Amino acid sequence: MTLAALARDDASAQFLDAAAQGVLLYQRCSACGHAQLPIGGSVRTRCRNCGRNEAAWTPASGAATLVSWTSSPVRTADGTEPGPVIGLLELAEGPWLETQLRGLAGAPGELDEGAPFHVGFEQPEGSEPIPVFIAG
């Protein structure tokens, strides 16, 4: 299975516009300096550290390390096949993000916490660009 389609909403527009340019954004609070990514779409610029409404979109380096990962078999006509590997990544700036991993040399069992990854973007048919993380 590859990525499913992603649609934009008002809260994600700026993030997705940057993604289309190959830039990963995160939020940094201009009041307290806290770095975060939004959890859902409903709260846009509220800082989860100090509570002020000052979390502003900022370009990230695109570097990340692996915190955890999982993979579920996908059902096919003949049975199942290995599904995509989904990583929980920590951006170099601190925030966490879950998305698919690319460029893995071995089986998911050979991955390790702390392994380095860097961001890339893929755009499925009819979808906004979606960040993925590439090994190395």
Q: What is the largest CA-CA distance in the chain?
A: 55
Nearest approach, Cβ of residue 52 and other proteins (Å): 16
Q: Does 112 bind other proteins (CB under 8 A)?
A: yes
Q: Does 118 bind other proteins (CB under 8 A)?
A: no
Q: State whether the Cα torsion 87-88-91-92 is positive or negative.
A: negative
Residue 98, CB-side half-sphere exposure with 13 Å CA sphere: 9
Among 47, 99, 119, 121, binds other proteins (CB under 8 A): 99
**How many other β-carbons are positioned within 10 Å of the β-carbon of residue 55?**
26
Judged by beta carbon, residue 4 or residue 77, the one nearer other proteins is 4
Q: Does 49 bind Zn ion (CB under 5 A)?
A: yes
Q: Does 37 bind Zn ion (CB under 5 A)?
A: no
